[in-house]
Amino acid sequence: MFTRFAFKKQIQNLAQSSDKPSYLLAISGGADSMVLAHLFMTLRDSGYEFQVAHINYKLRGEDSDSDQKVVEDFCKRNHIKFHLYEVSEIDNKPKNSIQLWAREIRYQFFRKIQAKENLEFLVTAHHLNDQLETFIINLSKASGINGLSGIPANENNILRPLLNISKEQIYRFAEENKIEFREDLSNKKSDYLRNKIRNEIVPKLSETNENFLENFSKSIFYLNQTKDFVQKQIQEIESKLLISDKEYKILSKEKLALESDFVKFEILKKYGFTQPEENQKIFLAETGSSFYSKEFKLNINRNELIFSCLNSDSKKIKEIILTNDLDLNQNSLNIDISKHINAPKDFIWQFDAEKLIFPLKLRPKKDGDIFYPVKFTGRKKISKFFKDEKISVLEKEKIWILCDGEDRVLGIIPYRQDRRFQANNDTPKKVIVQWIEELPIL
């Protein structure tokens, strides 16, 4: 049977990185969460700071209100700060996926309270039976070792100190300590997958061996050790593939291609590429190809895999206006691009002002861009120009296209100007685009 001392030790192990931890307890009113609240109460004399949060989903009428009352009364009796969220019409309850909807609501609420009250850890009452149910669900999804190793005891500062305690032990502890709780009768219905597993599958498995749950707990422990070992090995392999980890994460495509399919999958999975069939295309792709996951962009550059965070890409400026108009009384207009982008110090282009449509602007390359480069005949796709000039994927990401008001390409900075708009000695009005080095103040 678990004890106050064992529980305190478990909390200390889970929150060991924090000097003076504070906690928000997610309390539903059920036996497991009320036992969790009671155990935290026993630690008050040791200086543990905690508050309680409860969600009333309004899904079971008076039963939902009774659950709330049990939790609220417990907090009042014991002078615990209580936070309540009552679901209303503005929460747009869906007809399907109720469990996902409810999960999103509660974690948004919990994180909001944590931020407001400066509470470091969220604590939930997940227990060993929850662990088994999750294992079976993940087993049916072919989720691999990460799924089969179960619910983590500490993940993103969410602590689950009861994961090794069975539901039976929790009921016994509640009875021995006269802890008031509410039974959610909807859990008896097998209308959701988890409930079906809980009510029909787990009892059958438990009949096969009286020590089934205890042995399952040991198996989860071994699986977690295996997962930790595998992750350490994958990390070591990735470090040997690493070419650069500065602005971009760059791995050797050639070396990774020699690894097993398992290693390839585990490394690419870290960047959100989780479809084996799609991942095979990465190693067959030509230079210049791009792949996207939810969080990363992967560029192929010869024998390199270049990963960049999409969040940083989204912050990239899409367009820079250099000038909106030309003063007709001036013979020339000088535009200094050093305030906006980098270019060689000797960079200078001259244009025939009468051939331009204002405003002039800088933007990244677009698909299908063409121009008429100086010292060439005819026109050329910018993508073909990049390929012919052997411009790397990383360099392409930093290149700016100079355009006029009709989005005609005036040049690729700093590589080549478009000859159609180039000024000559007889041009009456010129636009001069250059990079002017700022002199230091003496």
Cβ burial, residue 331 (10 Å; 0-12/13-18/19+): exposed
Q: Give the tokens for residue 316.
A: 């990239």
Amino acid at 372: Y
CA atoms within 13 A on the CB side of 40: 31
Count Cβ atoms within 10 A of the Cβ of residue 67 and give its class: 0-12 exposed, 13-18 middle, 19 or more buried.
buried
- 8 Å CB contact between 417 and 349: yes
Cβ(84)–Cβ(56) below 8 Å: yes
- Determine contact, residues 190/196, Cβ cutoff 8 Å: yes
Burial class (CB in 10 A: 0-12, 13-18, 19+), 245: exposed
Amino acid at 35: V
* Residue linked to tokens 């026109």: 379
Q: List C-alpha distances in Å: 157 to 22, 65, 112, 381.
A: 11, 29, 14, 51
SS3 (DSSP) at 42: helix
338 is in an annotated binding site: no
29 assigned ligand-binding residue: yes
Is 144 assigned to a binding site? no
- Torsion, CA 407, CA 410, CA 414, CA 419, rounded to 10: 160
190 is in an annotated binding site: no
Residues 6+ away with beta carbon under 8 Å from 348: 432, 433, 434, 435
Known binding residue 378? Answer is no
47 is in an annotated binding site: no
341's enclosing H/E stretch is none
Give the residue numbers of the binding site for ATP.
28-33
Give the residue numbers of the binding site.
28-33
